[in-house]
Structure 1
Amino acid sequence: MNWPDGSQWQTVWAVFQGLLLEAIPFLLIGVAIATAARAWDPRGRWLQRLPRHPLLGPLSGAALGFALPACECGNVPVARRLLAQGAPMGASLGFLFAAPVLNPIVLLSTWAAFPDRPWLLLLRPLGSVVIALVLTALLQQLSEAALLPPDLLEERRMGQPLATASLLDRRSGLIGNQTLSSTAVIAAERPTLGVLLDHGLREFLELGSLLLLGCGIAATIQTLIPRDLFLAVGQAPTLSVLSLMLLAVVVSVCSSVDAFLALGFAAMVTPGALLAFLLLGPVIDLKSISLFSRIFRRRGILLMLAGVVVAVLLIGQWLNLVLL
């Protein structure tokens, strides 16, 4: 892979701007939803009522995708707020992984791009739910301390109900059933508008800086690696799935418009490869990998990457066996 020349740098800059302009509105929506949730339910009592069942928990979180439309960039701040306010881990992870596809905008765009492929309209949301269940079960094999970064873990422990977290776990310095410290009480009170705006702005700037890095990497790699290279093995049952998975990571296009991009090469690839492209991109791509550092430690990110790659590959292979 050669170092980009002047014209390629211009292309990198154009692609970078396109990716950023596409992602920023959804990041803003995600931060706005997270800020509104903090204002409406500062103690997280409603969120803590979500099911903790190993199956119903992730399914309930996935169902939130219909009510809280966010793509793979915007769902990160929302999922982080769910975790910080003490929502069950399964429900929070179910939302994180399934919401970018169960978004009504994404479902409508998929239908608009592929009205003649009813199997795709069914298998895309169904596959995203299966992936969310698999990744949730996989990540919950780690303890919360091993999965979540320290700042989020501390917020989450402060938001846990007394029945699920001891005062020692809350790092309040109190033992037994004594009254919570003034800091904990203040943290649970309804925040003022100024506090909400300050918190939302800081979260947007933190996530925005990570998004800038991800968009830069995605634009550079997307420019240097010709897209035709991924489509060269379009009819090979296994290689087509792997190549379209890699393409989904590289192009880093938003899940709200990825169906229209896929429409351009749908006739050149296997059905399993097409589905793999539409399943993997909404979960992970080059621009969103850095965002996950706000939710998971490195071990969690690596485990998630391994899990989603295997799950999507198996789903794509299964579909090719059925339809080819």
Structure 2
Amino acid sequence: MTLERLATAWAVFQGLVVEAMPFLLLGVAIASIARWLNPGGAWLQRLPSHPLGGPLTGAALGFALPACECGNVPVARRLLAGGAPLATALGFLFAAPVLNPIVLASTWAAFPDRPWLLLARPGGALVLSLVLASLLRLLPEAVLLTPALLEERRLSQPLEAVGLLERRGGVIGAAPSAAVPAAPRRPPLGEALGHGVREFNNLALLLVAGSGIAALVQTLLPRSWLLALGSSPTLSILALMLLAVVVSVCSSVDAFLALGFAAQVTPGALLAFLLLGPVVDLKSIGLFGVLLRPRAIALTTAGAALATLLIGQWVNLWKL
């Protein structure tokens, strides 16, 4: 790699980290406050678990919390660790990066002359969240979630749902209904802040590593190669999907990046870029490692890519 390319990669890396780090900090702050205010996660367990109502509820939570694809990971982890239904937590994880006021406002500012896109992007994000939540719910939790998160989640489950042995505590052999768990205490504020700092440090390392990989790949793979395929209905979608994964730009500003090449690509490809990037890119795949096992991450990537391709194809049939 020449010095010029190395300097470009460094500049891209800095841009990605500076752009994403505030949202990661915001997400960790939201998760830490939720853990301090509601240590037992009682309200989380009351969220709907319906295959349709759960993801829609998670998407609604995403509208209320302005976190991009980096900031939504610690919040989704807090939901899962607190015992929230899988459907709701996964719906939030996959829909929140698009269905929040900052992203919707930036999309409106970038494309005021394309009203169909202002409806298609949040609509497509809802479809993706429903598809991915339904797909991942087919896996048992022990196969889906990381061991550390699974153990935290089991500790938050009601005794009638998870036995004492599964909680790794209590009296061996006692009937679940015979034990009355103590009400969870609110941790001291300093303890909650310390937990948040440790979580931020762990996630920040993953974010930095993912941003470094994205910067190198983006430097070695010029965008002009991908945009040259912009006129082909199917190849343009595939090219822009790959571009979305590679550039790994935050969902709060990706609409302005897309504005620079919107006239060169098909409508379906433009929508595919705005849908896939917030769900799966090189930096978010690393962050998923604190939630999901590798098999689940691979299933998420494949499912998101296939659903985005189908949505893009449908839009091209409609708009071309």
**Residues of 2 paired with 1:274 and 1:54: CA distance?**
29
1:55 paired residue number: 52
Q: More displaced, 67-76 or 164-173?
A: 164-173
Q: Structure 1 residues 69, 287: closer, same or farther in 2, change over 3 A? A: same
Residue identity matched to 1:243: A
1:46 paired residue number: 43
The alignment's TM-score, normalised by the length of structure 1, stands at: 0.96
Residue 238 (structure 2) pairs with residue 242 (structure 1): yes
**Residues of 1 paired with 2:64 and 2:34: CA distance?**
13
Residue identity matched to 1:179: A
1:111 paired residue number: 108
Residue 139 (structure 2) pairs with residue 153 (structure 1): no
2:16 paired residue number: 19
Residue 41 (structure 1) shift: 0.9
Residue 99 (structure 2) pairs with residue 88 (structure 1): no
**Residue-by-residue CA offset, 1:86-124 (whole Å, 9 max, x unaligned):** 001100000000000001000000000000111100010
**Residue-by-residue CA offset, 1:240-299 (whole Å, 9 max, x unaligned):** 000000000000000000000000000000000000000000001011110000000011
Residue 179 (structure 1) shift: 3.4
Q: More displaced, 162-171 or 252-261?
A: 162-171
**Residues of 2 paired with 1:149 and 1:322: CA distance?**
41
Question: Secondary structure at the residue paired with 1:145?
Answer: helix
**Residues of 1 paired with 2:242 and 2:77: CA distance?**
27
1:179 paired residue number: 179
Residue 40 (structure 1) shift: 1.1
**Residues of 1 paired with 2:54 and 2:221: CA distance?**
40
Question: Secondary structure at the residue paired with 1:296?
Answer: coil
Could you tell me whether the CA contact under 8 Å between 1:172 and 1:180 is conserved in 2?
no
Q: Choose from 95, 98, 111 the match for 1:98.
A: 95
Q: Unpaired runs of 5+ in structure 1? A: none
Residue 160 (structure 2) pairs with residue 163 (structure 1): yes
The alignment's TM-score, normalised by the length of structure 2, stands at: 0.97
2:295 paired residue number: 299
**Residue-by-residue CA offset, 1:199-223 (whole Å, 9 max, x unaligned):** 0011000000000100000001111
Residue identity matched to 1:309: A
Residue identity matched to 2:162: A
Q: Choose from 122, 125, 135 the match for 2:122.
A: 125
The number of aligned residues is: 317
**Residues of 2 paired with 1:109 and 1:250: CA distance?**
21
Question: Secondary structure at the residue paired with 1:169?
Answer: helix
Taking every aligned residue pair, what percent have the same amino acid on both sides?
67
**Residues of 2 paired with 1:153 and 1:170: CA distance?**
10
1:76 paired residue number: 73
Question: Secondary structure at the residue paired with 1:272?
Answer: helix
Residue identity matched to 1:316: G
Question: How large is the Cα RMSD of the aligned pairs?
Answer: 1.1
1:281 paired residue number: 277
